Amino acid sequence: MALTINSTYKLTNGVEIPTVGFGTWQAADGTEAKNAVLDALKAGYRHIDTAAIYGNEKAVGEAIAEFGIAREDIFVTTKLWNDIHTYEAAKVALATSLEKLGLDYVDLYLIHWPNPISIRHNWEERNQEVWRYMEEALEAGLVRSIGISNFHERHIDSLLKTAKVVPHVNQIHLSPSEMQPEVVAASDKHGILVQAYSPLGTGSILQVPELVAIADKYGKTPAQVAIRWSLQKGYNPLPKSVTTSRIIGNIDVFDFELTDEDIKIIESLGGTGNVASNPDEQGF
């Protein structure tokens, strides 16, 4: 069945998630973030991705409330930051995020990074501990699905030693210039949906001649081609922008389809843009 703006993926627990989401990273200013989310909702996005560390959960919640959409018609993701190390702290963190968002529940809650520098000596225990609370939050209806972000295979395997619920999502830095095949394979092995943050390679690939040529062929932008590539690979792209025209353009990707040859060319572009950070070497 052809993808449309209303298409969804079904997570392993049956929850449906819109195929394209709107990312809000780097839109920390309250007014800027609120206006961007309002633009996104007007353009047809029904999946908004935020995080505690972004500093914009309140603005995201205000935009959702102002737009007036029914709660069941929007999918909201937020994330647990690196300074949360225990079961009790995770409980407070989620409650704080819900209060800022003005919501009774979020649709997806993620561990933002697997190996914070402050607890690098016992990252495994930390992830298992906060995951235990996230599983309870899932059972209590405070979240509809739970997942991870920036987790590599070793982090996934460690979490699964004690997890009762396999993560529903793994959100990673993923674009035609950074395809992370090992992480994708590790996620696929467990039925974990791969979400693509920075699906445009933080803009670094949009001037690559091969991508521009494919875009010209379809009367599309290189950004639209990169997002379409993510969709045809079965990923869940989360493009972000604070520019109205780009917000609108980034979801206008359902009226064309890349050929196998197009995809082959696109996948030859690895290394032409920004690459993913090693989560075990992050300085935060």
Q: What mean pLDDT is predicted for residues 170-193? A: 96
45, 54, 109, 133: which one is catalytic? 54
Q: Give the tens place of pLDDT for each residue, 207-234.
A: 999 999 999 999 999 999 999 999 999 9
Question: What backbone phi and psi angles, to 5 degrees, belong to 181?
Answer: -60, -35
Q: What mean pLDDT is predicted for residues 246-271? A: 94
Domains (range + CATH), the chain: 15-203+236-257 (3.20.20.100)
**What pLDDT shows up at residue 275?**
80
Confidence of residue 157 (pLDDT cuts 50, 70, 90): very high
Query: Do 253 and 224 meet the contact criterion of CB atoms below 8 Å apart?
Result: yes
Known catalytic membership, residue 54:
yes
Separation of alpha carbons 154 and 175, rounded Å = 22
Q: What three-state secondary structure class fits 28?
A: coil
Residue 187 has pLDDT above 70, yes or no: yes
Q: Give the tens place of pLDDT for each residue, 27-71.
A: 877 899 999 999 999 999 999 999 999 999 999 999 999 999 999
What does the DSSP assignment read for 158-222? HHHTT-SS--SEEEEE-BTTB--HHHHHHHHHTTPEEEEESTTGGGTTTT-HHHHHHHHHHT--H
**What pLDDT shows up at residue 166?**
98
